[in-house]
Amino acid sequence: MESTVLTAPSITASGEAIRDNVSLVLGELGNTAAQVSTEQLHQAAKLLARADRVFVAGAGRSGLVLRMAAMRLMHLGLNVHVAGDTTTPAIRKGDLLLVASGSGSTSGVVKAAETAAGANARVAAFTANPGSPLAGLADVVVVLPAQQKTDHGSGVSRQYSGSLFEQVLFVVTEAVFQSLWASADVPAEQLWLRHANLE
């Protein structure tokens, strides 16, 4: 069997190229985030505010973004768990599973949503594919109109793979946190008391 060896290309980045790509990223991010339905985000925020406990599940970079969202929701005082951590309890009725997958077909994320739905928990899903299996399992779907990670050359984004989806996911989850925090009318100093002190 013949194997293919990939070698690293010779790479460099000029200051001008970096400046241009900062503009590219910010432009695509702003344009795409502006297309996200505020009503869908409002519905997801309502589920967050009403949940007994919040669980987050995502793979790869989307999963990392949801971990950041979980940290902020914990700062707000919500009872938050990251799926897969050794101390994460069983999900149950009254809980919310927050999931993200650009394709909406990431197997582990879909399985988590199936488990949550089977336990009568609610599911809020962020995806670029509203016709996906993940969207079909969700109580609330927030569509992020970015390319999926294997959607190369579609013209939706000039960035690599799922970068735009992950960037928009970060921005909208931050906006949801910011809105929930504003409605709680709690000073930043109080949130800071919950910040990790075992670092």
Tell me which residue of 168, 169, 174, 47 sits closest to 100, measured CA to CA. 169
Decide if 13 is inside a domain: no
Decide if 81 is inside a domain: yes
Which residues are identified as catalytic?
166
Decide if 197 is inside a domain: no
Decide if 16 is inside a domain: no
If one counts the domains in the chain, the total is 1
- State the Cα–Cα distance between residues 16 and 20, nearest whole angstrom: 6
Question: Helix 163-184 and helix 38-50: axis angle, to 10°?
Answer: 60
Decide if 51 is inside a domain: yes
Decide if 60 is inside a domain: yes
Tell me which residue of 66, 37, 88 sits closest to 166, measured CA to CA. 66
Q: Are 112 and 97 in contact (CB under 8 A)?
A: yes
pTM > 0.85: yes or no: yes
- State the Cα–Cα distance between residues 57 and 83, nearest whole angstrom: 5
Decide if 31 is inside a domain: no
The CATH number covering residue 57 comes to 3.40.50.10490
What string of pLDDT tens digits covers the 199 residues of the chain? 566 777 778 888 999 999 999 999 999 999 999 999 999 999 999 999 999 999 999 999 999 999 999 999 999 999 999 999 999 999 999 999 999 999 999 999 999 999 999 999 999 999 999 999 999 999 999 999 997 666 656 677 888 888 999 999 999 999 999 999 999 999 999 999 999 999 8
**Token pair belonging to 159:** 């960035």
Query: Residue holding tokens 């070698």?
Result: 7
Which structural domain, as residue segments, surrounds residue 182? 37-192
